[in-house]
Amino acid sequence: MDIVILAGFLGGGKTSTLNFLIQDAIDQELKPAVMMNDFGAKNVDAQLVTEDVKMEVLTNGCICCDLKANVSQQLHQLYLTHQPDIVFIECSGAAHPVEVFDACMTPVLAPFIQDLSMLGIVDAAAYKSRDTLPEPIQTLMDEQIRYCSHLIVNKIDLLESDQLLAVVQTLQQHYPDTPYILTRYGEITLQEIQHASEYHIGERSSVHHHGHLSHMLYEFQSPIQQSALIEGLKGLKDVFRVKGFVYFKGCETPYVVQYTPGHLELKPCPIEMSPYLVVVGHDLNEVDITETLDIIEFSS
């Protein structure tokens, strides 16, 4: 079987890229399977996969640390039980893909693996502003893409031409041997990533950072006002990603919430979901965030 690992910092577009790759695999009459990891207690991204495929979900830990042994075990079980042609592994935004690579290359799994690609999904707009982020976060972002076989430079439509050129030049300077693909919504194909894959796993940092990332789960008890959510999210500090499901007053169906600083996406969800938000950030102040989300709920 083939394996494709999707890695990158929070909000880069890993799940969107995953959906394009799953559809491409199905179009080629391949049998895909998915392993997905989220940093919190619940996995929002698993609900956003658009195709009906076999999926294994790992939560409440990082796929490269707490759950690393689970990767090897579940991959082996996937192969024995479902015989997929290709397995997509989406890492959490806090994970180091090289550790997942190691988990895939155990003596038990190695004989079954024909091709292994490791994709670094880069949010072009966020990468442009990386120097404003705390140093541990910058280190994490670098380690997430340093060893990848391909860089997927995503959300390029959010930058002006000169800004995008500067991002590409910086990436080429830092990772000169790694091919890159420019996309707006993660629209790539298997053919683009499964040829001449090379891995750059030489020297590795002796310190394993998660960049002081932390996460929390907040569950809503009642519908809220959309305007209250928008204003409340703007006031959150040290937050890199908020995702989940909410019910708005006057709406019967839930909405998917996808938030990164400066960008909020709300989309109707066709199925019933429990209302909750997963918040990921840098040394989160849980008391302040809970108070902010309480205000959103109680003022609605």
* Confidence at residue 105, expressed as pLDDT on a 0 to 100 scale: 67
211 against 256, higher pLDDT: 256
Residue 233's identity, in one-letter code, is: L
Mean pLDDT of the chain: 83
**CATH class, 213-298 region:** alpha beta
| Domain range annotation of the chain | 2-202, 213-298
Residue labelled with tokens 């909020």: 264
CB 104 within 8 Å of CB 79: no
Residues 184, 200: Cα–Cα separation, whole Å: 26
Strands 239-246 and 276-282: antiparallel
* Confidence at residue 109, expressed as pLDDT on a 0 to 100 scale: 73
Query: Residue 99 above 50 pLDDT?
Result: yes
What's the pLDDT tens digit per position in 160-178? Answer: 999 999 999 999 999 998 9
What's the pLDDT tens digit per position in 104-149? Answer: 766 567 667 888 888 999 999 999 999 999 998 899 899 888 888 8
In a 13 Å sphere around the CA of 15, the CA atoms on its Cβ side amount to 18
> Is residue 248 very low, low, confident or very high in pLDDT (cuts 50, 70, 90)?
very high
Residues 274, 187: Cα–Cα separation, whole Å: 30
> Is residue 249 very low, low, confident or very high in pLDDT (cuts 50, 70, 90)?
very high
Using alpha carbons, select from 3, 2, 52 the residue that is nearest to residue 26.
Answer: 52
* Confidence at residue 211, expressed as pLDDT on a 0 to 100 scale: 46
Query: Residue 74 above 60 pLDDT?
Result: yes
* Confidence at residue 197, expressed as pLDDT on a 0 to 100 scale: 47
* Confidence at residue 208, expressed as pLDDT on a 0 to 100 scale: 37
* Confidence at residue 224, expressed as pLDDT on a 0 to 100 scale: 97
Which range, 43-47, 61-65, 66-70, 260-264, has the best average confidence (pLDDT)? 260-264
Q: pLDDT over 90 for what percent of the chain?
A: 48
* Confidence at residue 210, expressed as pLDDT on a 0 to 100 scale: 42
In a 13 Å sphere around the CA of 161, the CA atoms on its Cβ side amount to 0
Positions of E strands within the chain: 2-7, 32-37, 54-58, 86-90, 115-123, 150-154, 180-182, 213-219, 239-246, 255-260, 263-268, 276-282
Residue count of the chain, please give it.
300
Buried b vs exposed e over 206-225: b needs ≥16 C-beta within 10 Å?
Answer: eeebbbebbbbebebeebbb
What is residue 279's three-state secondary structure?
A: strand
Using alpha carbons, select from 15, 1, 6, 28 the residue that is nearest to residue 191.
Answer: 28
CA distances, 52 to each of 2, 46, 56, 188, 291 (Å): 19, 11, 12, 19, 38
Whole-structure pTM over 0.95, yes or no?
Answer: no
Using alpha carbons, select from 23, 78, 214, 81 the residue that is nearest to residue 136.
Answer: 214
Structure tokens at 237: 């500090």
* Confidence at residue 79, expressed as pLDDT on a 0 to 100 scale: 87
* Confidence at residue 6, expressed as pLDDT on a 0 to 100 scale: 94
Residues 45, 244: Cα–Cα separation, whole Å: 9
184 against 272, higher pLDDT: 184
In sequence order, the 6+-apart residues with CB closer than 8 A to the CB of 95 are 7, 37, 62, 63, 64, 144
What's the pLDDT tens digit per position in 25-42? Answer: 999 999 999 988 765 444
* Confidence at residue 146, expressed as pLDDT on a 0 to 100 scale: 86
Residues 77, 71: Cα–Cα separation, whole Å: 10
* Confidence at residue 204, expressed as pLDDT on a 0 to 100 scale: 36
* Confidence at residue 297, expressed as pLDDT on a 0 to 100 scale: 93
Residues 54, 86: Cα–Cα separation, whole Å: 11
CB 280 within 8 Å of CB 240: yes
Question: Which whole number is the average pLDDT over 270-298?
Answer: 88
End-to-end Cα, the chain, rounded Å: 50
* CATH architecture, domain defined by 2-202: 3-Layer(aba) Sandwich (3.40)
Q: Is the dihedral of CA 44, 260, 199, 152 positive or negative?
A: positive
What's the pLDDT tens digit per position in 194-240? Answer: 754 444 444 433 333 344 456 688 999 999 999 999 999 999 988 88
